[in-house]
């Protein structure tokens, strides 16, 4: 069974045209469903979706109590979905529903995850350029040759991702996280269309968030189970720099330079050593936290206010 997941926020003018296209495509998949997750819309989208459930029997709507973000909306949709194949896609009409059969065909080749690639994007040049740079950094950190981590349109086998918990902006890196556990990942080009209604919900304020998420991704993929190696390595290098700094200060003094109290090098050396010790202790703390992490069942990052029609 196929489940299409639509995270929606203030897309009243786009949901009806999109569902009309989905109805055409899903006519070939009689057991498919569309799970629309409203993520705090205030423009009448909820009322529009409620009316559309009467027209499209494959549509189910979940309304979150407030705006939690795209990742939480996708997580809510995936949990409520009944399908073995989960396909998130944007609700703004830029993803083309007619690409769905191509995703399913690629899955049939034995892959667990198929990621979309908006090779010819219809976005502002600066946004596209920043996206390409970010994707390049993510490829290096994850080791996965995916060109477009930001494309929401992906196809997942439920069995490949059901053990992963979504939070923050993790949906963007879900393929990379799943690949760590052996999931086979493929990529296909998709038809990216220009937005014709509404306004984009993504601004340049996301840049710093992506950079922080990238740092965590690198830590998660390479050091989650051994935080002492990560923090301890930084700590040892910092302590080494501290000793090198004080040795340099002494040699400078012996060669006729200023006294130690006349230079900032002793203070800098002490700073390096203190930071190093703190990093080592952080590694010890991280080891304790990791052992707890793998024994705790994570909760949800969202709260469902209502659902209709009732399952």
Structure confidence at residue 310 (pLDDT): 66
- pLDDT (tens digit, 9 = 90+) per residue, 173-213? 788 878 877 889 999 999 988 877 766 666 555 666 766 77
Closest by CA position to 234, among listed 199, 283, 198: 283
Question: How many Cβ atoms sit within 10 Å of the Cβ of residue 138?
Answer: 22
237's enclosing H/E stretch is helix 227-254
Q: Is residue 297 pLDDT above 60, yes or no?
A: no
How large is the angle between the packed helices 125-142 and 206-223, nearest 10 degrees?
10
Q: Are 272 and 241 in contact (CB under 8 A)?
A: yes
Average pLDDT over residues 82-105: 94
Structure confidence at residue 9 (pLDDT): 92
Domain range summary for the chain, segments of one domain joined by +: 2-223, 227-293
Select 2-223's CATH number: 3.90.550.10, 3.30.379.10, 3.30.470.20, 3.30.70.3270: 3.90.550.10
- In degrees, rounded to 5, the angle at the alpha carbon of residue 118 between the alpha carbons of residues 45 and 32 is 50
Q: Is residue 99 pLDDT above 90, yes or no?
A: yes
pTM over 0.85: no
Structure confidence at residue 206 (pLDDT): 63
How far is the CA of 269 from the CAs of 76, 177, 239, 266, in angstroms? 50, 39, 8, 5
φ, ψ for residue 186, nearest 5 deg: -130, 170
Mean pLDDT score of the chain: 84
Structure confidence at residue 153 (pLDDT): 93
């Amino acid at each position: 069974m196929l489940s299409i997941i639509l995270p929606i926020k203030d897309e009243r003018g786009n949901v009806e045209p999109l569902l009309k296209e989905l109805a055409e495509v899903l006519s070939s998949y009689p057991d498919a469903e569309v799970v629309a997750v409203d993520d705090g819309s205030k423009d009448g989208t909820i009322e529009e979706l409620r009316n559309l459930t009467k027209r499209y029997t494959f549509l189910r709507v979940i309304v979150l109590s407030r705006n939690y973000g795209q990742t939480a909306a996708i997580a809510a949709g995936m949990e409520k979905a009944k399908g073995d194949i989960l396909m998130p896609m944007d609700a703004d009409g830029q993803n083309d529903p007619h690409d769905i059969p191509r995703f399913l065909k690629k899955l049939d080749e034995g892959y667990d995850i198929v990621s979309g690639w908006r090779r010819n994007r219809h976005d502002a040049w600066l946004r596209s350029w920043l996206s390409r740079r970010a994707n390049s950094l993510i490829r290096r950190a994850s080791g996965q040759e995916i060109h477009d981590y930001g494309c929401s349109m992906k196809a997942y086998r439920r069995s490949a991702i059901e053990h992963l918990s979504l939070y923050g902006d993790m949906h963007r890196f879900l393929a990379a996280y799943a690949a760590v556990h052996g999931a086979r990942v493929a990529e296909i080009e998709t038809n990216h269309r220009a937005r014709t209604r509404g306004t984009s919900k993504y601004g340049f304020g996301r840049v710093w968030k992506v950079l922080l998420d990238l740092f965590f991704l690198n830590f998660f993929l390479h050091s989650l189970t051994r935080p002492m190696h990560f923090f301890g390595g930084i700590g040892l290098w910092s302590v080494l720099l501290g000793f090198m700094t004080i040795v340099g200060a002494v040699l400078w003094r012996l060669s006729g330079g200023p006294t130690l109290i006349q230079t900032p090098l002793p203070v800098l050396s002490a700073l390096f050593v203190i930071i190093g010790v703190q990093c080592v202790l952080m590694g010890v703390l991280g080891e304790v936290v990791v052992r707890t992490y793998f024994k705790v069942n994570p909760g949800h990052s969202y709260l469902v206010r209502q659902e209709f029609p009732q399952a």
